[in-house]
């Protein structure tokens, strides 16, 4: 009885997600999620893209990858502008912060070395990309190089997730529905690991 109840709950969730991802505004939603993730939100746009492509094959995974990368890049533009403006306003405070060392100093040195490569890897890897985006504005680094590098790195990262979700998402959904308990344990473990890494500052 408990197993049947769990299966029923999973099927209801499956239908609910299927309903949401088929709305016309889903592309705009992905853009907004990506923009917020690049600035203040912990929700990865890749998760939304993966969910959409697991249910829909009538939408291009390439298009969603570009939309997501553009949203993230827009968020970086906001952080860049904020860094540039705040540094001009509170220059003494920032100079003291940098003099104390820490991640700000590390980020500054990395950015001064090679802006494009640093921002590319910051957007593609678990490096704290928000810090690098903010510091690029503080140091008034070339705006369009920063955006191009971040867009390129994030597009590559999202495209990998989008490709596999588009081609193998159906199989994952069927497995979850068929093996509810095992899938639930796996999903919970992944979510907890993600939250742990996020809270510890690794992601």
**pLDDT of 69 higher than 80:** yes
Q: Which of 2-11, 130-139, 189-198 has the lowest mean pLDDT?
A: 2-11
Collapsed DSSP state (helix, strand, coil) of residue 165 = helix
**pLDDT of 45 higher than 80:** yes
Burial of 98-114, coded b for 16+ CB within 10 Å and e otherwise, reads: beeeeebeebbebbeee
Terminal CA-CA length for the chain: 40
Q: pLDDT tens across 169-182, in order?
A: 766 555 544 544 56
Q: Which of 12-16, 57-61, 119-123 has the lowest mean pLDDT?
A: 12-16
Mean pLDDT of 109-120: 76
**How many domains is the chain partitioned into structurally?**
1
For 23, the domain range is: 2-199
Q: What is the DSSP string of 82-144?
A: HHHHHHHHSHHHHHHHHHT-SHHHHHHHHHHH-HHHHHHHHHHSSS-HHHHHHHHHHTT--HH
Enter the tokens of residue 156: 């590559």
- Please indicate whether residue 194 or residue 46 has the higher confidence score (pLDDT): 46
The span from the CA of 164 to the CA of 27, in Å, is: 19
The span from the CA of 91 to the CA of 82, in Å, is: 13
Of 15, 21, 11, the C-alpha closest to 52 is: 21
**pLDDT of 128 higher than 80:** no
The pTM score is 0.73
The span from the CA of 65 to the CA of 160, in Å, is: 9
Other CB atoms within 10 Å distance of the CB of residue 152: 17
- Please indicate whether residue 107 or residue 131 has the higher confidence score (pLDDT): 131
Q: pLDDT tens across 79-97, in order?
A: 999 998 988 887 767 666 6
């Amino acid at each position: 009885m408990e197993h049947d109840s769990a299966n029923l709950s999973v099927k209801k969730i499956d239908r609910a997600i299927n309903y949401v991802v088929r709305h016309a505004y889903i592309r705009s939603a992905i853009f907004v999620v990506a923009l917020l993730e690049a600035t203040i939100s912990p929700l990865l746009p890749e998760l939304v893209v993966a969910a959409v492509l697991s249910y829909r094959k009538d939408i291009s995974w390439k298009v969603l990858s570009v939309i997501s990368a553009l949203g993230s890049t827009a968020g970086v533009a906001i952080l860049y502008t904020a860094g540039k403006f705040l540094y001009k306003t509170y220059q003494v405070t920032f100079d003291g912060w940098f003099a104390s060392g820490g991640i700000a100093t590390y980020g500054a040195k990395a950015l001064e070395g090679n802006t494009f490569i640093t921002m590319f890897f910051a957007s593609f890897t678990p490096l704290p990309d928000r810090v690098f985006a903010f510091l690029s504005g503080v140091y008034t680094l070339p705006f369009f190089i920063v955006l191009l590098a971040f867009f390129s790195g994030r597009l590559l990262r999202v495209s990998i997730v989008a490709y596999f979700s588009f081609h193998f998402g159906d199989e994952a959904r069927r497995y979850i529905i068929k093996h509810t308990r095992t899938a639930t344990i796996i999903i919970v473990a992944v979510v907890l690991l993600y939250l742990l890494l996020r809270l510890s500052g690794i992601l």
